[in-house]
Amino acid sequence: MPRRQFLLDEDQIPTRWYNIVADMKEPPPPPLNPATKEPIGPEALAPIFPMEIIKQEVSPERFIDIPEEVRDIYKIWRPTPLYRATRLEKALDTPAKIYYKYEGTNPSGSHKPNTAIAQAYYNKKEGTRRISTETGAGQWGSALSMACKIFGMECTVYMVRVSFDQKPYRKILMQTFGAEVFASPSNHTEYGRKVLAEDPDCPGSLGIAISEAIEDAATHDDVKYSLGSVLNHVCLHQTVIGEEVRQQMEMAGEFPDIVIGCCGGGSNFAGFAFPFMRDKLTGAKPDLRFIGAEPASCPSITEGRYEYDFGDTAGMTPLMKMKTLGHDFVPPSIHAGGLRYHGMSPIISALYEQGFMEAQSATQKEIFDAGVEFAHNEGILPAPESNHAIAVARREAIKCKEAGQSKVICFNLSGHGMLDLSAYDAYNSGSMG
């Protein structure tokens, strides 16, 4: 049997994050001031972000050093394992070689702490007392709650109402880490009260929750806002994943032909794929394929428009050039709450428009079929979000079988589904929509 596990030592945790913007011949268009339509400067972001984060957001540097304090906390769970899915390969009867990086080994169960720890660290250095944020399914809220507790800060989380109701254990985990959690839209902010007045039964969206969290930060001098996806600095911090995978694929004696990650706001895909995409951008691996996997019910890449739009529903953010379904889009109440976002990272949107990556969408039924099949063969219950990457990897493996090709497929298993059991209960009972 082929080797299944590829493990790194602590001293092999990457020392630098990779900034893909440095290798893009056409960087994403700059964010604009909504009033003047002129590019915004760093000063416009200062009320809600610490200055070091703002510098990273606009940095032209190819690599940025990971602070030793951050890297030391990473050692709680990093490096994470890379596995070859030999049992899944056998079940699919495919000549493809399937590898997956498992990011569910940390206390919050997903890839999100890679940036949560970094953002909390920079906020603490600049004297922030409390951080406000949004969360969809709760992976990001759990990660930031943990990070704030580690650095001795308070945390307020606005959790999309449908996920607040669907995923009570995520809420409990955040509260156990000391966070205050509100179902969004909430009565805690002016914007939340406005939404509820218009629709008392509103299921919420990430755009609404972002508006509430930004309002919270903007109206308190000692509070900053933290975002779990979309922006450049978040994608940057997540590249610790792909930088590890590069080392692990070298251990395996392989290099990917196809790289796959699920896409909501884009941080998971970016962190996994960008360190490999530099080989395509620089011409070293021109045939390397990248596929973003997204829900058919919230298909920002495959069906969205590429235009300037707000990152939130209330229009408090700068305008960003991205693939978007419209900032007032309220997606269906699917169980993959972390992917229910109207827009896509400006960097990923630009790479897609420039032809460096593809995207595929999948229905909720297909992704749970794929996730359960994966669990039966690999023994890990995936998060609903991660099931999208599994479904697309499965499609590509079957194509390899039909074509008689032995491609190397590599995807990111971005988190476990042990706090998403209500979703699996709906799937098992046949009540899932």
How confident is the model over 131-178, as pLDDT tens digits? 999 998 788 999 999 999 999 999 999 999 988 988 889 999 999 999
Looking at residue 109, its pLDDT comes to: 93
Q: Give the whole-angstrom CA distance, residue 427 versus residue 433.
A: 9
Check whether 332 has a pLDDT greater than 80: no
Helix (H, G, I), strand (E, B), or coil: what is residue 416?
strand
Check whether 430 has a pLDDT greater than 80: yes
Cis peptide before 185 (omega within 30 of 0): yes
| CA angle 59–212–345, rounded 5-degree value | 35
DSSP assignment of 33-49, as one string? -TTT-SBPPGGGTTTTS
Cis peptide before 295 (omega within 30 of 0): no
Name, in order, each residue with C-beta under 8 angstroms of 325's C-beta and a sequence gap of 6 or more. Answer: 298, 299, 300, 303, 304, 305, 331, 342, 343
Helix (H, G, I), strand (E, B), or coil: what is residue 383?
coil
What pTM, to 2 d.p., does this model score?
0.95
* Residues 281-288, mean pLDDT to the nearest whole number: 95
Neighbours of 35 (CB within 10 A): 7
Check whether 334 has a pLDDT greater than 70: no
Among 313, 215, 232, which Cα is nearest to 270's?
A: 232
Taking each continuous run of H as one helix and of E as one strand, the counts in the chain are 17, 15
Q: What is the pLDDT of residues 362-405, one digit of tens each?
A: 999 999 999 999 999 999 999 999 999 999 999 999 999 999 99
Check whether 356 has a pLDDT greater than 70: yes
Quick one: pLDDT band at residue 333, thresholds 50, 70, 90? low
Quick one: pLDDT band at residue 44, thresholds 50, 70, 90? confident
Looking at residue 338, its pLDDT comes to: 65
Percent of the chain with pLDDT over 90: 84
Check whether 249 has a pLDDT greater than 90: yes
* Residues 406-430, mean pLDDT to the nearest whole number: 94
Please provide the CATH number assigned to the domain covering 5-15+65-109+238-429: 3.40.50.1100
What are phi and psi for residue 304, nearest 5 degrees?
-75, 165
* Residues 228-233, mean pLDDT to the nearest whole number: 93
Looking at residue 335, its pLDDT comes to: 57
Looking at residue 331, its pLDDT comes to: 75
Domain segments of the chain: what residues? Answer: 5-15+65-109+238-429
Burial 98-118 (b: 16+ CB within 10 A, else e): bbbbbbbebebbbbbbbbbbb
Q: For the chain, what is the mean pLDDT?
A: 94
Looking at residue 314, its pLDDT comes to: 85
Query: How does strand 223-225 pair with strand 180-184?
Result: unpaired
Strand partners for 319? 32, 310
Check whether 217 has a pLDDT greater than 60: yes
Q: Give the whole-angstrom CA distance, residue 430 versus residue 433.
A: 8
Q: Give the whole-angstrom CA distance, residue 349 versus residue 302.
A: 10
User: How many residues can be counted in the chain?
Assistant: 433
What are the tokens at 175? 């509260």
* Residues 32-54, mean pLDDT to the nearest whole number: 89
Looking at residue 29, its pLDDT comes to: 94
- In terms of pLDDT, which residue wins out, 272 or 44? 272
